Amino acid sequence: MRILCVAEKPSQAKAVAQILSQGSFNSRDGLSRYNRNLDFQYRLSGNFISVTMTSVLGHLTDLDFPATCRSWNSCNPVSLFTSPVIRSVGENVKDVAKNIERESRSATHLYIWTDCDREGEGIGGEIATVSRSVNPRIIVKRAHFSSVLPQEIHNAMQNPRDLDMRQVAAVEARTELDLRIGSALTRFQTLRLSSRFNSLHDKLISYGPCQFPTLGFVVDQFLRVESFVPESFWYIYLEHTKDDGRAVFTWKRSKLFDQEACFALYAKCMAAPVARVTSMRSRPKEKWRPLPLTTVDLQKCCSRYLRMAPDLIMSIAEGLYNQGFISYPRTETDQFDTNMDLKGIVTKLTQYAPFSAYASSLVNEEGFKWPRKGNNNDKAHPPIHPVAPANNLTGDPLRVYDFVTRRFLACCSDNAKGQATEIEVLVTDEQFSASGLMILKRNYLDIYPYDRWSESSVPVYRQGDTFEPSVLEMRTGTTTAPKLLTDSDLIDIMDKNGIGTDATHADHIKKIIEREYIYRSPDKFLAPSTLGIGLIEGYDAMGLELSLSKPHLRCEMERELKRICDGAKTKDDVVRESVNLYKAVYLKSVEEVAKLEDSLSRCLQQAPDTGSAIWTPAGGDGPGGTEVCKCLSCSDGSLALRNKASGGWMIGCNMYPQCRYAIWIPDIVSSVVVSADTCPNCQSHARGPAKLVDVRFKPGSAPPGTACPYKACIRGCDEFINEMFDLRPPPPVNPQRPAQQQQQQQPNYPPASIVVPVNSDSGSWNSRNIPDTYWDQSSSSNNRQPPQQQQQQQPWPRSANNSGGGATSSVPMCSCQLPASRLVTAKEGANKGRPFFKCSKGASGGCGYFEWEDQLNTAGGSSTRQQQSYQPPASSSSMANGRRYEEPEVKPKCKCGLFAALRKATKSAGNEGREYYVCTRTFMACGFVCWKDDVQEYMSRPQGGQPSMPASTT
């Protein structure tokens, strides 16, 4: 038995190994220079076993879109809501993953020692996946601990739990949603607004599901302050001075905003200015000690009292936790478990010099009180508290540790006690009151100076006493504007509205400061920038029921993630519902983008640019372009229409480079658009219907009578498009096996069933997924290769013996002076299984040569040219796609837009042996024909002119 332990960070791995090995471990290098492997023996169930402790550096895997969607201009941002996503090991942690793989191979058990929260559970799931990839039988367990103390660490090692896969699923769902939502809206905002405003030209205008609601809170408070109008009010002031003191009485009505009404009441009091004591009460009063410390309270209090940024507070707290000075700093629990030995912790704190005397008084003088119970318990971690004295700290870590310690000792102390006096008097019909306080025991206030409870004295009165006020006046005042938010205020609002978690509040505030949406003033108040105001006001102006700047969308998402953890919903359900919700809001925002631009124009004091370079989302709803249908080659992708960088169009799989299936639209097409109609012949297809494509051919490229636009199906049921686009059926898809696995089981050479040009301009070719049925079925396994590989491995001409035939037959040459490709018909029909030769360049760049094999040696036809053997290239030959070939002569194009085929006249009519060019199509040919010696004249005419036609050629 060998246990591999993996911690979340190197410092934590070393601290845990120090405890488990009692300081006796062997350190050796890992494959990552930051993560060492610590080997030691540990006694478990009475036996000593080998243990290796290593670590990661946070998350091991990244989530990203396929390569076709990663470029900012590669697709319409809306397609990112539904695009496939790929999870892979991050580039910067590949060495860390390899180290875990190497150590896992010889391990029987894997113990996850990441932080015990939802995010730590997600990292643990990634570690388990990497480990199982090389050792499927390894047993995965979870060590649960709240502090790096010997008792807790040994207990976690002795009693491991199972990994909570519901929390893992919640983390994966949150990661995917943040990627989809953030990427789509960030691209839209950045591309659109940077093209409209010069001041935003090189600026990243990011959107985050938590960042924008957080920005909205800051902007809303700023607008309240800016729009505040002071208002006057009036009130009656009463004061009485006696020998034993002075009492200031408060009017029960507080204040009135009507001066005449207040004056009438004041005049009534002045008519009989005598006050009568109607009530005199004295009662005990207590000031409640604070609740146990949660993460939100830690950030709020340290930000308010210590004037520190929330992200710095959390960074210091994590450092103190890793050093074993405080418990885990990310918790929502505000109640201690009754099984905890809190008095023992207080006893340890008697060794901490600054608070030694107070801690001793709690232990020795029976001043210890069990802390109050709050309403929250995440059942994962106790409240934040000190676990060991830290006598060597300095600077900010000391300040944070002191606060945590003071808060814990205050929780374990008694409430402050005092005696309160309340007096009520009556002047005519108007009531006034005064109060005083005498503190009897300060208790927790002695150690927790952040709470204030000051004494105030009042003279002694008896019920029924009367007196004439020393001062009785009507005074005026004005309302004051609210203050801008501080970090503490913002965290409190985020927590109440469910934006982020206790562990991420600081990160969201830091992010919108980095994006320059808000800034922190010298007096620590948060104010929005003009860009931040413009964005929020723009989205508010759209009048959306669920605005992107309000907390409702994210709050609902957080509730859904909680339901995943509770088992009430699955990850797929939550992702689908949240994506649909955000997508609908996104589409509405795109429609109303003018309101966003108007708001920014007003705030930036800059008119939007009206030039031609304004970015507009391209049409379509598929990744990388407009989706046509599910991929015909792989089981995971979809085929989408996209623009080529060199011009023109192609239809490719959005899982590229995992799937390289593509259909290249020939240059005879002037435009192509995916329509909303679906092919009636594909309605019952196993992979769903296919959208029809509206194709417009260049003049003279399509046979007469072709509809314009022509509604085409590219799935293979349209014979006309199959020939015009040179399409052939793809290999069958196995829906039970992912595309990546299919590729892993393919041979080394590209097994292809569709030979399509990689670049129609260059004429180069690429074979993609051609099944064996397209090669000669009788060929041996050594000869079943794509044409390019056959050319490299066996000399031309190739006899029929090499393909299992009996008679010898040379491979014909096409008009491009290249060996023709030999294929076998796989389509159902009369010609199924019939071999044929065709130009290896295809329709878009080749000569269009086609000939049935059994017609090569028949009488007539063009057998003389077809039976020419391949000649070695001359020194002037050129390279194309790794092959050398003779530079072909200039050939004319027929009306179909294809290079014409060269023929020889065979009948004796004065032209026998004379060469001519003819349309290569056998189906719906355009009728083009031109003598070879007239080609130069024909090519020099405008638009090709009208060629001279042979009177008779066959």
Which of the residues are catalytic?
328
CB atoms closer than 10 angstroms to residue 799: 12
Distance CA 582, CA 81 (A): 9
Contact indicator for 175, 574 with CB cutoff of 8 Å: no
Counting runs of H as helices and runs of E as strands, what totals does the chain give?
24, 35
What b-and-e string marks burial along 892-912, b requiring 16 or more CB atoms within 10 Å of the CB? Answer: bbbbbbbbbbbbbbbeeeebe
Structure tokens at 32: 């990552």
CB atoms closer than 10 angstroms to residue 564: 24
Provide CB contacts within 8 A for 258, sequence distance 6+: 234
Q: Which amino acid is at 761?
A: D
Q: Which amino acid is at 954?
A: T
- Paired strand residues for 340: none
- Please list the alpha-helical segments (H only) found in 462-570: 487-496, 505-514, 530-541, 552-566
Long-range contact set of residues 453-461: C-beta below 8 Å, sequence gap at least 24: 453/287, 453/416, 453/418, 455/418, 457/245, 458/245, 458/247, 458/421, 458/423, 458/434, 459/240, 459/242, 459/243, 459/244, 459/245, 459/246, 459/247, 460/244, 461/277, 461/280, 461/423
Q: Which amino acid is at 344?
A: G
Q: Which of 432, 413, 410 is nearest to 423 (CA)?
A: 432
Structure tokens at 231: 């208002």
Distance CA 329, CA 382 (A): 9
> What beta strand segments (E) does 327-470 contain?
416-427, 430-441, 466-467
Q: What is the DSSP string of 823-858?
A: EE--SSSTTTT-EEEE-TT-TTTS---EEEGGGTTS
Q: Which of 44, 85, 56, 53 is nearest to 68 (CA)?
A: 85
Residues in the chain: 954
Distance CA 380, CA 382 (A): 7
- Which run of H or E residues covers position 41? strand 35-44
Contact indicator for 900, 918 with CB cutoff of 8 Å: yes
Pairing of strands 139-142, 109-113: parallel
Distance CA 820, CA 835 (A): 12
Torsion of CA 395, 396, 400, 401, to 10 degrees: -30
Greatest C-alpha distance within the chain: 144
Distance CA 886, CA 817 (A): 7
Pairing of strands 649-653, 662-664: antiparallel
Structure tokens at 887: 């530079």
Structure tokens at 352: 């901490």
Q: Is the peptide bond before 873 cis (omega within 30 degrees of 0)?
A: no
- Please list the alpha-helical segments (H only) found in 862-908: 863-866
Q: Which of 171, 120, 41, 168 is nearest to 321 (CA)?
A: 120
Distance CA 483, CA 772 (A): 76
φ, ψ at 441 (rounded to 5°): -140, 125
